[in-house]
Amino acid sequence: MSTKFLLAGIVVVISAALSPAKAESDPKRGATVYRACVVCHSLEPQLHLTGPSLAGLWGKKAASVEDFPRYSKALKAQAFIWDETTLNAWVANPEAFVKDNYMTFRGIKDDKARSDLIAFLRLALAPDGAKSVVAKDLIPEQMARGQAPEPLDRAGPQEQVASVRYCRNTFFVVTADGVERPFWEMNLRLKVDSSATGPKGGKPVLTPSGMQGDRASLVFSDPAQISAFVQSKC
């Protein structure tokens, strides 16, 4: 047999071996695997969480979302594009694929689960992918937003903060309904939500945190408001 026909035979055998695996990849099962991703990512354009929005990333260069500032230097130095091959390597073990990146996810070792996830991502990361996977009933609309913070721009008087004073390791928070709540300094987190749905009018919002009722977050719309709003006074 000539080398030419031998190589052709090998290609046919490899193709036959690979085709069933691709055919078996199920985006619906992959949507279930994708639940692990919603902690850090959304599918909505410009809705960035811990990680960047995944909207429209299929076929795009890594670290290329212009309005996302938290890429690692390691990932920004890469030139690859996101496709089946690179996503497979990334999802299997992000640190092994790009050393010193900021992704804290340990990876998916199961080949089948990873294949199903990539089948889902091929749909979800395409243009208008969020609308597509929701319309196909692969995920609910809320899941496409990931774990985006609850909107704070319409907070009621029980959540909208009127004043805050700090005295002897305690924050005393007075809400717009006139109620004062004391918080141990370690139990009140000061946060910033500068998004379109963050606190409005320079008025921070108090949100509950934890199961015991003794912890909360005080959310401002701008970091400059924190020192101006919180008064040291006993």
pLDDT in tens, 151-209: 999 999 999 999 999 999 999 999 999 999 999 999 999 999 999 899 987 899 999 98
Mean pLDDT value across residues 57-80:
97
pLDDT range class, residue 24, cuts 50, 70, 90: confident
Q: Hey, which residues does 209 pair with through a beta bridge?
A: 215
DSSP secondary structure, 10-73, as one string: HHHHHHHHHHHHHHH--HHHHHHHGGGTTTT--SSTT--SSS---TT-TTSBTT--TT-----H
Query: What is the domain partition of the chain in residue ranges?
Result: 16-144, 161-232
Q: Please check whether residue 152 is in contact with residue 197, taking contact to mean a CB–CB distance below 8 angstroms.
A: yes
Q: Is the pLDDT of residue 2 over 50?
A: no
Mean of pLDDT over the chain: 90
* Residue bearing tokens 């199903």: 116
Q: Hey, which residues does 175 pair with through a beta bridge?
A: 161
Q: What pLDDT does 121 receive?
A: 98
Is the overall model pTM greater than 0.85, yes or no? no
- CA dist 53 to 26, 68, 74, 203, Å? 23, 8, 19, 28
Rounded to whole angstroms, the Cα distance separating 102 from 47 reads: 19
CATH class of the domain defined by 16-144: mainly alpha
Q: Is the pLDDT of residue 9 over 50?
A: no
Q: Please check whether residue 105 is in contact with residue 137, taking contact to mean a CB–CB distance below 8 angstroms.
A: no
Q: What pLDDT does 218 receive?
A: 97
Q: What pLDDT does 23 receive?
A: 53
Q: What is the CA radius of gyration of the chain?
A: 24
Mean pLDDT value across residues 91-103:
97
